[in-house]
Structure 1
Amino acid sequence: MSKNRHPLFMPLILVGGLIFGFGLGFSHMARPEVVLNFLQFDDLGLPFVMFGAAIVTGIAFVVMPRLRDTAPLTGDIYERRLKSFDKNVLIGGGIFGVGWGLSGICPGAAYASLGVGNITILWALAGMFLGAYIQGYWRSHDADAGAAAARAD
């Protein structure tokens, strides 16, 4: 990541988050009952919202590198960052899916849900933070154990 960020980088991140949150609230995707209705195939509005966002993002990923060599706010070169598909991705995706299915909310929509007055979503947010903390602790513990084993050899 580039250290020479444009001074408007952080304010524009905030504006982008506000637009994202407003969009989630406006489309009712910040309401867990709407997401749960989608997961039960009762309301298929969610795929239209997701596909609309995916189309806009896909176009931006194709067009922007042709217009500019670097990202305008960070100066970073446009490139694909591929993550290997391993057991951590599979386990993390499974946990995310189960949490999404049980609560009807994902992390981005959870904050937007607070904005539409859903105070009980604080329980889901607390669970997300606790899960992230446990995962970080577990990964750092595994890294420490791997470093200790390497030193022992």
Structure 2
Amino acid sequence: MKRIVVSGLIGALFGLGIAISGMANPAKVLNFFDVAGQWDPSLLLVMGGALATTAFGYRLVFASRSRPLLDARFHLPSNRQIDGRLIGGAALFGIGWGLSGFCPGAAIPAIGFGGVPVLVFIGAMMAGIALARSLDGLSRKQLKAF
């Protein structure tokens, strides 16, 4: 139960940060990509702040703890390989972000502001996740058959 409460609080804090920074507004994100027009560098500042906070947090936590407070171990990615799936996923993420102005981290808090574009994005994101899982399952089954 503690994990659920702490996870909810962390998610709420993240959503509050997204809302305060204006990143739930797709126009703000799209203006960042419009370097020849109404360029808005605030996304760069938000990303830089997030990167600095994360780097400091990781150093602090991993230097002082052998395991997290509410779990038996840290769950870190084990795959360090850059492959076609990673590059393709990153490219699709970037294209979707550039076209819609939403990324999953900003779209979920933006549901609270309402609006059809947010709901369309969330629906498309869920369909994309389901499709990717389906295709991944098919490719893994094919690999196992040989």
Shared fold per TM-score greater than 0.5: yes
Task: Determine if the alignment matches structure 1 residue 61 to structure 2 residue 58.
Answer: yes
Query: Match of 2:27?
Result: 33
Find the partner of 1:89 among 86, 89, 114. Answer: 86
Does residue 15 of structure 1 match 2:12?
A: no
The amino acid across from 1:38 in the alignment is F
The amino acid of 1:28's aligned partner reads G
Query: Which of 104, 118, 121 matches 2:101?
Result: 104
Letter in 2 for 1:39: F
Distance apart, 1:120 and its partner CA: 2.5
2:40 aligned partner, one-letter code: D
Gap regions ≥5 residues in structure 1: 1-6
Distance 2:12 2:29 in 1: 20
* 1:87-137 deviation line (CA, Å, top 9, x unaligned): 000111111110000001101100111122334211011111111111111
Aligned pair partner of 1:136 in 122, 133, 136: 133
CA 1:78–1:131: 2 relative to 1, 3 Å = closer
Using CA pairs below 8 Å that are at least 6 residues apart, which structure has the higher relative contact order? 1
AA partner of residue 3 (structure 2): F
SS at match of 1:48: helix
Return the letter of the residue paired with 1:102. L
Letter in 2 for 1:143: R
Q: Which residue of 2 aligns with 1:147?
A: 144
Give the TM-score taking structure 1 as reference length: 0.87
Task: Please state how far the C-alpha of 1:79 moved relative to its aligned partner.
Answer: 6.1
Secondary structure of the structure 2 residue equivalent to 1:30 = coil
CA RMSD of aligned residues (A): 1.6
Q: Which moved more, 1:115-124 or 1:87-96?
A: 115-124
Instruction: Flag the 1:86–1:15 CA change in 2: closer, same or farther, 3 A.
Output: same
Greater helix fraction, Structure 1 or Structure 2 = 2
**Measured at CA, do residues 78 and 129 of structure 1 come closer, stay the same or move farther in structure 2, by a change above 3 Å?**
closer
The residue type paired with residue 20 of structure 1 is F
1:70–1:76 CA contact under 8 A, matched in 2: yes
Q: Is the 8 A contact 1:65 1:78 kept in 2?
A: no
Q: Which has the larger radius of gyration?
A: 1
Contact 1:39 1:101 (8 Å CA) reproduced: yes
